[in-house]
């Protein structure tokens, strides 16, 4: 499979899929079976974030005549292996005779397998009938085949489903019905997840559509693995980009083989940030970690992570970071492989001066997070030697706005690209979804979700990035993509085991191993 996949416009996606399938029914059938199975397996996992499955789970498919309906039916067929008493309903917007032959074949198989547990209903009968709760609703009406406007019948159907409070999870395939390039209908299906099998569709990643597509899951398919290197800047990363990190370590290795990371973090108000960044680094495989944290309280937190070495840095009388921290950190640079600055730091004039000096003068590969993301620090980056290691920034949207400046549009991808080129950085913009930019590409990462929307999650990610960068700074973009994907996959693993509500940030840590090995 590919490490990156281009994001296609709807027209380009249709053209590419046609060029691969070549109108061949056997190829089309194989693609539909592959897509449907991948959708079923992804749904099997994602539903666990909400609840355990019942063997008699109730699923409603909103169907049309095309292959998206076929994908949805194959997905349910795959689920039958795990949910043998599944109750399936298909609300069809067309007569069965109008469906594509491949869709009718899958429909026939499901009728045979499910018997009375499968019912096909017209839109009119569904809207007039009694309200029945469903664990899952799958929107397979249109996908790429939608041309506005929605018919009144389909709009009424989508309006009713969108308004229901007794649906567990809403899923769309390719695109929510009613959404197309540059526009959406008032009654567009509102999804919790949108699954994109094989070919990434650009509208799913546009910020204005986030409330319709929900969380995007890109599903790799072998049939579409050979995607051309398009003349484009927008990509989606493989959801398996982190798998390469999990490999046998050489027998002739020791702790120094896996990097020595330095961390400048923490303050009296936020000591936990230093702890979580350090835990993230250690769980991401760093061989050695030295944490520099203000001396007035470091002995209170040093014992919380005994695997790290803790070094106090002096404070001035007013409680700000003493510039002598530059000398103390520089003494450790020769044997170190990467440096993280920012989590939990109390940023004032003296601390800013000290951080700017370290950023300018220290040649190590560098991760800047949280309080270290200021315009003064950005100016210091420009003073780094051209031979210095790569710089990774990890802002959330508010921090990105802070370093960009008040007059700049934080939603403009051209401004993001220009910013990264100007400062020679790789920027990880945490959000929905997280995007990575190196000044030449903008890459969407589709692992992770709201389970990560809690304080400290970014500190763990920053520590992980520092650890991985110290072990592989020759390919920094590849390292950042794999690490961000890994962090998100661990969040998915945690959410599927315990939900996304009643957990804490550090509950993520044991799932880093699970996400890497599963």
**Dist. CA 365–CA 338, nearest whole Å:** 5
Q: How many CB atoms lie within 10 A of CB 138?
A: 30
> Is 211 within any annotated ligand binding site?
no
Crossing angle between the packed helical segments 349-361 and 375-382, to the nearest 10 degrees? 20
459 is annotated as contributing to ligand binding: yes
The 3-state secondary structure of 305-332, one letter per residue: CCCCEEEEECECCCCCECCHHHHHHHCC
Contact 465, 392 (CB under 8 A): yes
Q: Please indicate if the annotation marks 458 as binding a ligand.
A: yes
Q: Closest Cα to residue 77, out of 33, 110, 28?
A: 110
Q: Rounded distance, CA 150 to CA 186, Å? A: 9
CA–CA dist 350, 341 (Å, integer): 15
Return the number of other C-beta atoms located less than 10 Å from residue 434's C-beta. 23
**Both structure tokens of 373:** 């993301």
259 is in an annotated binding site: no
Tell me how crowded residue 334 is: count the other CB atoms within 10 A of its CB. Answer: 7
**Cβ-contact 400, 411 below 8 angstroms:** no
**120: which strand partners?**
90
390 annotated ligand binder: no
Exposure string over 416-431, b if 16+ CB within 10 A, otherwise e? bbebbeebebbbbbbe
What Cα–Cα distance (Å) separates residue 6 from each residue in 12, 26, 235, 395? 11, 26, 4, 24
- Coil, helix or strand at residue 203: helix
337 belongs to an annotated ligand binding site: no
- Whole-number Cα distances in Å, 360 to 376, 388, 422, 462: 11, 9, 16, 20
Q: In which residue are the tokens 């763990």 written?
A: 460
431 is in an annotated binding site: yes
Residues 6+ apart with CB under 8 A from 230: 6, 8, 12
Q: Is 314 annotated as a binding residue?
A: no
492 is in an annotated binding site: no
The arrangement of strands across the sheet holding 193-197 comes to: 118-122, 87-92, 58-63, 134-140, 167-173, 193-197, 215-219
Instruction: Report whether 14 contacts 239 (CB < 8 A).
Output: no
Task: Determine if residue 69 is labeled as part of a ligand binding site.
Answer: no
* Gap between the Cα atoms of 369 and 392, Å rounded: 9
Binding residues for (6S)-NADPHX: 273, 344, 396, 459
Binding residues for AMP: 430-434, 458
Binding residues: 273, 344, 396, 430-434, 458-459
């Amino acid at each position: 499979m590919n490490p990156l996949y281009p994001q296609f416009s709807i027209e380009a996606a249709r053209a590419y899929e046609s060029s691969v399938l070549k109108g061949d029914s056997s190829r089309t059938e194989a693609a539909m079976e592959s897509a449907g199975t991948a959708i079923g397996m992804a749904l099997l996992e994602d539903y666990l974030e909400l609840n355990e499955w019942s063997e008699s789970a109730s699923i409603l498919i909103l169907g049309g005549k095309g292959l998206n309906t076929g994908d949805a039916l194959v997905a349910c067929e795959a689920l039958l292996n795990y949910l043998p008493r599944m109750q399936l309903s298909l609300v069809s917007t067309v007569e069965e005779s109008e469906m594509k032959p491949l869709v009718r074949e899958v429909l026939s198989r499901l009728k045979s397998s499910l018997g009375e547990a499968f019912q096909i209903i017209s839109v009119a009968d569904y809207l007039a009938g009694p309200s029945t709760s469903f664990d899952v609703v799958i929107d397979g009406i249109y996908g790429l085949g939608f041309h506005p406007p929605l018919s009144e019948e389909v709009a009424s159907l989508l309006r009713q489903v969108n308004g229901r409070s007794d649906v567990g999870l809403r899923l769309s395939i390719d695109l929510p019905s009613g959404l197309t390039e540059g526009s959406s209908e008032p009654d567009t299906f509102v999804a919790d997840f949108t699954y994109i099998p094989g070919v990434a569709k650009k509208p799913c990643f546009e910020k204005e559509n986030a409330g319709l597509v929900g969380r995007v899951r890109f599903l790799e398919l072998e049939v579409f693995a050979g995607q051309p290197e398009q003349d484009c800047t927008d990509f989606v990363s493989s959801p398996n980009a982190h798998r390469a990190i999990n490999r046998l370590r050489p027998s002739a290795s020791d702790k120094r083989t896996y990097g020595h990371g330095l961390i400048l973090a923490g303050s009296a108000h936020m000591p936990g940030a230093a702890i979580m960044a350090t835990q993230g680094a250690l769980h991401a495989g760093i061989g050695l970690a030295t944490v520099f944290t203000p001396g007035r309280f470091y002995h209170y937190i040093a014992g919380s992570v005994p695997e790290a070495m803790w070094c106090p840095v002096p404070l001035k009388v007013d409680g700000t970071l003493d510039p002598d921290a530059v000398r103390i950190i520089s003494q450790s640079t020769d044997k170190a492989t990467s440096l993280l600055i920012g989590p939990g730091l109390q940023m004032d004039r003296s601390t800013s001066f000290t951080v700017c000096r370290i950023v300018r003068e220290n040649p190590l590969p560098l991760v800047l997070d949280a309080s270290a993301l200021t315009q003064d620090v950005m100016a210091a980056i420009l003073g780094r030697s051209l031979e210095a290691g790569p710089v990774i920034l990890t802002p959330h949207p508010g921090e990105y706005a802070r370093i960009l400046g008040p007059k700049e549009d934080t939603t403009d991808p051209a401004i993001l690209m220009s910013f990264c080129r100007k400062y020679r950085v790789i920027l990880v913009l945490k959000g929905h979804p997280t995007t990575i930019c190196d000044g030449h590409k903008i890459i969407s990462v589709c692992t992770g979700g709201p389970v990560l929307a809690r304080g400290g999650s970014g500190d763990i990610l920053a520590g992980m990035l520092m650890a991985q960068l110290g072990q592989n700074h020759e390919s920094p973009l590849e390292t950042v993509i794999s690490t961000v994907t890994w962090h998100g996959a661990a969040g998915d693993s945690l959410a599927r085991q315990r939900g996304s509500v009643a957990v804490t940030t550090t509950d993520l840590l044991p799932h880093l191993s699970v996400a890497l090995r599963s």
